[in-house]
Amino acid sequence: MKQVVILGSTGSIGTQALEVIDKLDDYGVYALSCGKNIKLLKEQIKKYSPKVVCIEDSSSIKEIKDEFKNLEVLYGIDGLVELAKRSNYDIFLVATNGVVALRATIEAIKNKKQIALANKETLVMAGEIVSKIAKENNINIIPVDSEHSAVLQCLGDFDNKFSKRLYLTASGGPFLNNSRKDMEKFSASDALKHPRWNMGKKITIDCSTLVNKGFEVIEAHYLFDYDYENIKVVIHPQSLVHSMVEFVDGSFIAQMGVASMHIPIQYALTYPKRVEGIKTDSFDIFNQKLEFYKPDYDKFPLLKLTLDCAKKGGIMNTVLNAANEVAVYKFLRGEIKFLDIEKIIFKTIEDTKNIINPSLDEIFEADKLTRIKLK
């Protein structure tokens, strides 16, 4: 039986991953981790009987141990790192938000475990370091994001030399058909109304600014070893085509499916096999309208800024990611307006002096200082 560690088990990807595991034969849960949602974590412990759990801090250890006396409880980043070093599991699913799981993911790679990656910060912040360690340990990082999962499926066994470009599709978010003037007055509740996908709040806001798609270009660069010039963003409002690959002979292969994260999560867990597993809705192939547009960089300037930072490298992606996270949560709390998100990020990048080839410690320091500055 394959044993799975799920970091972020109480979040959107984590809960869906457990739904997938419910339908898979020969898969079990070795460990779960979460932040502050102890109530849901305890429900998951009762159902899945993990051997270990890891929580954000030590304040809830007694509460958990009183109810589950034989359960091992770890906490904090050190707890995640300790968990990653264990030998008792097969798949390390990273479904957390933020930087908390970066060191643990690196340890799991060094431990030669299969990595199923749903955390953007791992490659956005430290893609150079993480991809180098993965190559040294002969570990393929299997993406969970629907777009990168689609690319993986389109490429199949084809060598990169036979493919020419990757096309990552984007729905365009809730404001695709609105003007900049309209966007000035939109609230968090407006931005959270994603037309196609049901996701967590932070990533949904990132989709409304298209910064999320810029992050996905960075991820694709490191996952598939493509130059940035050969990774294109395509606006596709129907969200039926999740990504496409253009080959050297001019042909395209596209991966299509309903907007459900269950499919890429399951593929990451069962890779390279494809199984029936969890039942998802399909779609009627007849009478479908498929539209593809170039992104409007004037309307969504954060997409272009993200791509510019990606090409500069160094700590620029780290600073942009931290500034974006701080600004998004300020917006969600009602402290700033929607377009203030990009103002904060642009000013932060403008004031940043780049560090080329940063160490992991320098990456964490840049992240920390950016957050302190914008607090």
Q: Does some domain include residue 71?
A: yes
Q: Are residue 37 and residue 111 in the same domain, yes or no?
A: yes
Q: Which regions in the chain score pLDDT beneath 50? A: none
The torsion angles phi and psi of 87, rounded to 5 degrees, stand at -105, 0
Q: Are residue 166 and residue 47 in the same domain, yes or no?
A: no
pLDDT of residue 195: 83
Kindly report the CA angle at 169 between 168 and 175, in degrees rounded to 5?
135
Q: Does some domain include residue 63?
A: yes
Question: Over the stretch 65-112, which tens digit does the pLDDT of each residue have?
Answer: 999 999 999 999 999 999 999 999 999 999 998 899 999 999 999 999
Kindly report the CA angle at 139 between 137 and 143, in degrees rounded to 5?
150
Q: Are residue 111 and residue 196 in the same domain, yes or no?
A: no
Q: Are residue 223 and residue 270 in the same domain, yes or no?
A: yes
Number of domains in the chain: 2
Q: Are residue 114 and residue 154 in the same domain, yes or no?
A: no
Strand 163-170 and strand 241-247: the pairing is antiparallel
Q: Does some domain include residue 79?
A: yes
Q: Does some domain include residue 137?
A: no
Q: Does some domain include residue 319?
A: yes
CATH at residue 68: 3.40.50.720
**Whole-angstrom distance, CA of residue 304 vs CA of residue 233:** 11
Q: Are residue 46 and residue 98 in the same domain, yes or no?
A: yes
**Whole-angstrom distance, CA of residue 230 vs CA of residue 224:** 11
Q: Does some domain include residue 139?
A: no
pLDDT of residue 116: 98
Q: Are residue 211 and residue 72 in the same domain, yes or no?
A: no
Sheet of strand 141-143: strand arrangement: 72-75, 52-55, 27-33, 2-7, 91-94, 114-117, 141-143
Considering 100, 119, 138, which residue would you say is the last residue of a domain? 119
Q: Are residue 99 and residue 172 in the same domain, yes or no?
A: no
Q: Does some domain include residue 194?
A: yes
Q: Are residue 85 and residue 155 in the same domain, yes or no?
A: no
CATH at residue 282: 1.10.1740.10
- Domain hosting 15: range is 2-119
Q: Are residue 259 and residue 115 in the same domain, yes or no?
A: no
Q: Are residue 22 and residue 112 in the same domain, yes or no?
A: yes
pLDDT of residue 219: 98
Q: Does some domain include residue 141?
A: no
Residue 117's nearest CA partner among 6, 277, 239 is 6
Q: Are residue 152 and residue 115 in the same domain, yes or no?
A: no
Considering 101, 119, 137, which residue would you say is the last residue of a domain? 119
Considering 119, 137, 158, which residue would you say is the last residue of a domain? 119
